[in-house]
A and B are shown apart, each in its own frame.
Chain A
Amino acid sequence: MQLIELDSKLAECLIEDIEIDMSNVNWFAANMCSPLGAILYKSSQNLNTVSITNFNPKVESILTRNGFLCNYGRPAKVDAQETTIKYFRLEPADDRFFGDYMEKYLVGKGIPQMSAGLTKKFMESIFEIFSNAAIHSNTELGIFTCGQYFPNKHRLDFTIADLGMGIRRNIFETRGLDLSAENAIDWAVKGKNTTKTGNIPGGLGLKLLREFIELNTGRIQIISDKGYWEQQNDAQIVTRSFEHAFPGTVVNIEINASDTRSYCLKSELQSDDIF
């Protein structure tokens, strides 16, 4: 992954002027601004000055419309096409702001005309991912979020990146399991596995996400440390490892926005049959 290679190159820079030359980039999925923004933010912590130059006009347009380039000296522009969910860096405690942000940029906008049931499930999935990052990553540099609707494919992608400890290290420190990075992700998304150790139980958020994405024939991609894990739209799992590590965790979900499934339960649950 080119972004991971970029991070490993930037890791050596301290108090430097860094120019990211985009002349060879003809297409950039705008939701990938989340991991790119995380990498550049981490670099700026080393007092590096980052500039991004030589854009393909289409790439520049979309990275301007989603607000990403506001961080790198470009003026803000309105997204008249309403296909972007704005790029933001948030603190773990910003969950309420995040909720407002999702409502502002998703609900009632042109992106996309999803059914009420699908919108609710999608929003809750995004909140589960944000909560996971806020609770588990111990990030001190924030959480980076961004989304993009692809009208021709009827697909909506949303990506959340953090600069935290990563899943592999979290499992090792809390559970003593020394797993490879990709096996660590696989462990975290399965069964009742959780790294929670205190009074508040856990181990459900990623499973709920997987179930929803499978029903929706969407896709989940998780990158953490050197590991890559993907649940494809046919529910097949693919894993691999990278040579270099991402400095945290990235979760991307892609949903089929034209899905008309109601997502309402067929069986009736009684409120006195819960506990």
Chain B
Amino acid sequence: MSEQIKISVYEVVGSGLCVASDDGQKVYDRIAAALREGRKVKLSFLNVDSLTSAFLNAAIGQLYSEFKEEEIKSNLTVSEMVQDDLALLKRVVETAKEYFKDPERLFAARREAVGDNDD
């Protein structure tokens, strides 16, 4: 079994148009499943043409509701992103960290994540 799992955003979404929150959710589901298995994830943005904060909030920002910052930092890497998209991702990550600083939000989110996993 491979220790690092490579996820192609283009393959998950089915196109280079990565703008919808629902499509971001599909990417999140794959990353979260791999991280829960203790794997490292390399997320490839090869052939992605358009990105929005709505997509990245769902795909990556949401990870901070379930995983600790250190865990994400050491287990998730991104590749083949152009500079503009990297800058957008950085903003999304900063916003997510700020969003989940609210302990009530974080508690509610983690409770929901645990509930989802129990289903």
Q: Is residue A110 within 8 Å, beta carbon to beta carbon, of the partner chain?
A: no
Chain B interface residue count, Cβ-Cβ cutoff 8 angstroms: 49
Question: A274 contacts B57, CB within 8 Å?
Answer: no
CB of A204 within 8 A of CB of B92, answer yes
Which one, A120-128, A147-155, A164-172, is touching chain B?
A120-128
A-B contact count (CB 8 A): 113
Tell me the nearest residue of chain B to A269, going by C-beta: B86
Number of interface residues of A (CB under 8 A): 37
Residues of B with C-beta under 8 A to A95: 19-20, 22-23
State A265–B112 Cα separation when bound (angstroms).
38
Contact B93 A275 (CB under 8 A): yes
CB nearest to B73 among chain A residues? A275
Give B99 Cβ to nearest chain A Cβ, in Å: 4
Q: Are B89 and A274 in contact (CB under 8 A)?
A: yes
Residue from the list B20, B65, B89, B95 in contact with A199, Cβ < 8 A: B65
B99/A203 in contact, CB under 8 A: yes
Does B81 lie at the interface of the complex (its beta carbon under 8 Å from any beta carbon of A)? yes
Known: A131-B19, A202-B57, A204-B95. 13 other contacts (CB 8 A): A93-B22, A127-B19, A131-B55, A192-B95, A194-B99, A199-B62, A200-B61, A202-B99, A204-B53, A208-B53, A263-B84, A265-B83, A265-B84
List residues of B whose CB falls within 8 A of some A CB: 15, 17, 19-25, 50-55, 57-58, 61-62, 64-66, 69, 72-73, 76-79, 81, 83-84, 86-93, 95-96, 98-100, 105, 109, 112-113
On A, residues with C-beta under 8 Å from B are: 93, 95-96, 99, 120, 123-124, 127-128, 130-132, 134-135, 192, 194, 196-205, 208, 263-265, 268-269, 271-275
Top 10 A-B pairs, shortest CB-CB distance: A131-B54, A201-B99, A95-B20, A127-B19, A99-B17, A204-B53, A201-B61, A275-B73, A199-B65, A201-B96
